[in-house]
A and B are shown apart, each in its own frame.
Chain A
Amino acid sequence: MTTVTGRVAFRDLETGVWVLEADDGKTYLLAGGDRKIKKNGARIEAQGDVDEDGVSFAMVGPRFVVKTYKFT
């Protein structure tokens, strides 16, 4: 379980991709959480797992599977 703080962003790439732009400069493909996490520009603090092995069409960075989160 890792904690990541950053900004939720929608990127108009491919068929549409939701990412978490972490404060340390990394970009994660968002996964998990619930639908309310999808707020473009919102800052969150999220706990979850980084999945380095997954493959997808998004190709923006590793997946971050959100278990819990809160808006900050």
Chain B
Amino acid sequence: MRKTLLLSAVATAAALTAVGCAKEAARDEAKLSPRPSYTTADLPDDLAFHVPNAIVVDFKDGTTKAEFDEWEKAWGVDLELADDEEGVDSAITVGSVDGDEDALLARIRQDPNVEAAEPLMRFTASFVPNDPLYERQWNLAQINMPKAWESTHGKGVVVAVLDTGIAYEDYDDFRQVPDLKGVKFTEGYDFVNQDRHANDDHGHGTHVAGTIAQATNNGEGVAGVAFEATLMPVKVLDHFGGGTTAQIADAIRWAADHGAKVINMSLGGGGRSAVMEKAVEYARNKGVVVVCAAGNGGRGIVEFPAAYPGSVAVAAVGPTGKKAPYSSWGKELDIAAPGGDKSQGEAAGILQNTIDPQDVSQSVYASYQGTSMATPHVAGVAALLWAAGAKNPDQVEKALFLGSRPAEGSTGWNDQYGNGLLDAEGALKALKKIRSMDASELLPSEVQAAQADADAEASAQASDVQLYAYSATDWKAFGLSAVLLAFVLLTLGRKERPGYLNIFVKPGFLVPLLLSTVGVFFVQYLASPSDFTTSVTLPLPDWLNKIIFGRGALANPLIYSAAIPVAVSLFAIKLKGIRHAVGGLAIGFAAILAYSAWAHAPALAWLPFTFLAIPWLLGNALVCLFIARAMLKKETA
């Protein structure tokens, strides 16, 4: 008993070998069956739990060292008393084993002098983190985190958070929030501002990331589900929280190509998009678990991307486990998780560390509710499942669903809760069952590896995509420039015209035209992405604006005007050789300005221009066309 007390005293500090506990357990078991028979298959896969190649054998009390030294020879194992203090009395021994543990244990159990023989386990107390606000996180207790944390913390599994960004680094005027200090991050990408600094300028994404991997057991703030996972910040929503399907589709592929095992999308809206649906399918085929929010409309429509076949759709419940009133439902629903229900009070929300949406320089502990808050619970548990040895996304999803708890007395699937309420401990247990039944796992590891390679290759070929480190080049402005060129050429008389096709293939003309409409687009095929290379693959005005005024700056009306073509054309009065090049630049500018106006893209800097933006762009496009016409006109003698 003294041994047990000693154990519990230090159990919070580290995992300990519970020899004493094992003995008591063995005695209890002995009443029911004379030969308790645990095997290695009864243990979690996590090495933190099972000490490999080690066994514990409990002989009948009073057995001496000389006696078991004699018996152990037959078993081919060297057993030592586990504890000199308790000594001969308890006769509990430990030993290390080469080869088949279970077979050896079975043989040892045959011996009538043996009370119990089993694999050596580490013992940890139920993991209660020391974060001061942890007590307020009813949501983590609801999904059984303390038990799940006994076996895994999701170490090293990359979870991409596609959102408004994460307050993960000190960069520019962004600051890391205190309760993400010490959390592991891998390089992400900002698809809104086109650079590598996916910082949060809103507050939503940091909260979501906190649920997945808030710094835990650090004496600060709150806890997260898979706090040893690696977060990948991917910004797809702007500072108002809006984004486009095209950008998000790019981001999904990017995350899948850069090592994410789980993608969390606490976002939705828009119609069904083939582009996004394919991106989700691509990620899923690459072995990524895609988890999405069902929506906050409180209606029978599951939002996209949650509703796509490759994605896990998550509904939200409150502290009682009842579906939150705002949570959407429908036939595509997969699972329910705590998302908060603040109709029962502020404390019934989900509490995480984020930046204040009204003052993004301030760190706050905010209580939010939404299916966005439910989603990262599922993503976090998915990370735990990967860390616990899941071999593919199918196993992860099956474990999530089979391990979930029935909601409101119902069993099986229903359109309000999907397969049930998320349960981290249940999912980890379910994973063990699923893996033991998965026939493909019985194949030798080389065969499994070869199969995985073949699968990955097949899916890569099937989805016909390249790496999406850059945002896809938009060729529409270039197409428009060709139309404008034809128009300009048509306004010239036959003798003044430099020809239709031969002007187009002249490098002197074509290069500035490409530069101004699609930038140095081919860099993306040659160099790995950096701030510089991703900038120059943008149309000339975009990257000039970005290089001169910095990321996220409003478009400067002087750059988005005819000023540059006009300035360059002044040189062409003397230098006739550069006229075609200036013509190309001017046509390109005309196209990009007209395209910006058509796409309602511009938010021009300097207030008086807000309502003048479109006339300004179109007027300048016309000036550019005029310059282009003058430049391309052949001088007739």
Contacts and interface: CB of A to CB of B under 8 A. Distances in A.
Nearest to B247: A55
Contacts of A29: 269
Interface string A4-44: 00000001111111000000000101010000000000000
Contacts of B297: 27, 59-61
A61 B242 CA distance: 13
Interface in A46-63: 52-63
Interface size class of B (residues with CB under 8 A): 35 or more
A52 B271 contact: yes
B296 A60 contact: yes
A61 B268 CA distance: 9
Contacts of B290: none
B211 interface: no
A14 B372 contact: yes
B293 interface: yes
A22 to B, nearest CB: 13
Contact of A54 (B207, B243, B266, B368): B243
A31 B203 CA distance: 18
B342 interface: yes
B419 interface: no
B368 A15 contact: yes
B303 A59 contact: yes
A59 B328 contact: yes
B268 A55 contact: yes
A53 B271 contact: yes
A55 B267 contact: yes
Contact of A14 (B242, B243, B271, B370): B370
A64 to B, nearest CB: 12
B237 A57 contact: yes
Contacts of A63: 242, 269
B202 interface: yes
Secondary structure of the A side of the interface?
Answer: loop
B194 interface: no
Contacts, number: 93
Interface in B225-253: 236-237, 240-245, 248
A70 B268 CA distance: 30
Given A13-B326, A59-B297, A61-B297, A54 B269 contact: yes
Nearest to B295: A59
Nearest to A65: B600
Given A55-B243, A58-B241, A12 B369 contact: yes
A15 B293 contact: no
A58 B366 CA distance: 17
B204 A15 contact: yes
B477 to A, nearest CB: 20
B270 A57 contact: no
Contacts of B163: 57
A59 B268 contact: yes
Interface in B148-189: 163-164
B202 A59 contact: no
B248 A55 contact: yes
Contacts of B293: 57, 59
Interface in B3-20: none
B127 to A, nearest CB: 30
Contacts of A13: 296, 326, 368-370
B371 interface: yes
A66 to B, nearest CB: 14
Contacts of A61: 269, 297
B619 interface: no
Contacts of B273: 53
Nearest to A29: B269
Contacts of B370: 13-14, 57, 59
B371 A55 contact: no
A13 B324 CA distance: 11
Contacts of B326: 11, 13
Interface string B272-305: 0100000000000000000001011100000100
A54 B372 contact: no
A59 B371 contact: yes
A14 B204 contact: yes
B440 to A, nearest CB: 36
A57 B369 contact: no
A57 B241 contact: yes
A10 to B, nearest CB: 13
Interface in B72-110: none
B389 interface: no
B238 to A, nearest CB: 9
B512 to A, nearest CB: 33
7 nearest A-B pairs in the assembled complex, by CB-CB distance:
A14-B370, A59-B295, A59-B268, A15-B357, A59-B296, A55-B269, A53-B270
Interface of B: 163-164, 202-204, 207, 236-237, 240-245, 248, 266-271, 273, 293, 295-297, 303, 326, 328, 342, 357, 366, 368-373
Interface of A: 11-17, 27, 29, 31, 52-63
Given A12-B342, A59-B372, 6 more contacts: A15-B368, A55-B244, A56-B237, A59-B268, A59-B303, A59-B328
6 contacts: A11-B326, A13-B369, A53-B270, A53-B271, A55-B236, A57-B267
